A = this chain, B = another copy of it.
């Protein structure tokens, strides 16, 4: 059996409550008994039972990180893995640990319903508002990559980043710029489309329907989209992809079709994840600051945990353009 404060109390010859106070540092205790207790606890290798402590203090020292199943798998296609691990690293500095869970068929994980966490971070879009609101009544909630009024939200500047990418292509002479995405149903992708649209408009161009293609949610979405695009009578001179996955697929399809990237068609992606430097030519891509998003989410939830009345805010992280070779302007 594990050693408890009662064991320590018996050995030192004090009451369990005294042990509790000595170890937690709260309450009035003489320095000498405090030290005696600490020493014995140390020797016995005492580890507090967090369940008991949690029961008494109504806290769990855990924060839930929930990700929608649509954003799985946590691999090359999704950047949530990095955010998850960043959150874990940050909150663990404050003594919290992470309960990781996915949202299946839009029902909250048991660990949340059963209040086994002190706060929740939701990762990604596609999470029903009706699911989140009630949670927020009882627990601090932080949203990452998603925005809801009255809730603390961490988002990247999708519109601005897309604007930047489109503008970059325009400034290098491209006038026929395609937009390729898996689906425009996804709010992030729609925002990226919006930035694309705004940039074109600002420069006096219009969005051409035939240059906007969606590949759908299937895993070969990239090739489906590119097939659609390559069927057109006139190819664009540049492609702005809504994420790196689609950009990599574009490069692949173009190369296969005997076209050169960036000489025949320039390509710009979005995310600037590890994939960007794994393909050839290396992707010019709009950087989504995943680590910063994770860190910000962690610090927000910690702040909310400390003072739940903290007013909610929307934090927009900027998305700079990382220029590599796929856009063809290297050295210009």
Chain B contacts of A52 at CB under 8 A? 55
Name the residue on B nearest A138 (C-beta): B2
How far apart are A114's CB and chain B's nearest CB, in angstroms?
5
A47–B245 alpha-carbon span in the complex (Å): 42
C-alpha gap A331/B183 in the complex (Å): 34
Interface segment among A15-23, A141-149, A275-283: the answer is: A275-283
Does A274 interact with chain B (Cβ within 8 Å)?
yes
Q: Is B114's CB under 8 angstroms from A48's CB?
A: yes
A124 contact set on B, CB distance < 8 A: none
Whether A256 lies near B280 (C-beta < 8 A) is yes
A60 to B116, CA, bound (A): 10
User: Measured between C-beta atoms, what is the minimum distance from A95 to chain B in Å?
Assistant: 7
Q: 22 interchain pairs (CB within 8 A)?
A: A2-B115, A62-B99, A73-B82, A73-B274, A75-B81, A75-B82, A75-B273, A76-B274, A76-B278, A77-B274, A81-B81, A85-B102, A88-B102, A89-B102, A92-B110, A95-B110, A97-B101, A97-B111, A248-B279, A255-B280, A275-B275, A275-B278
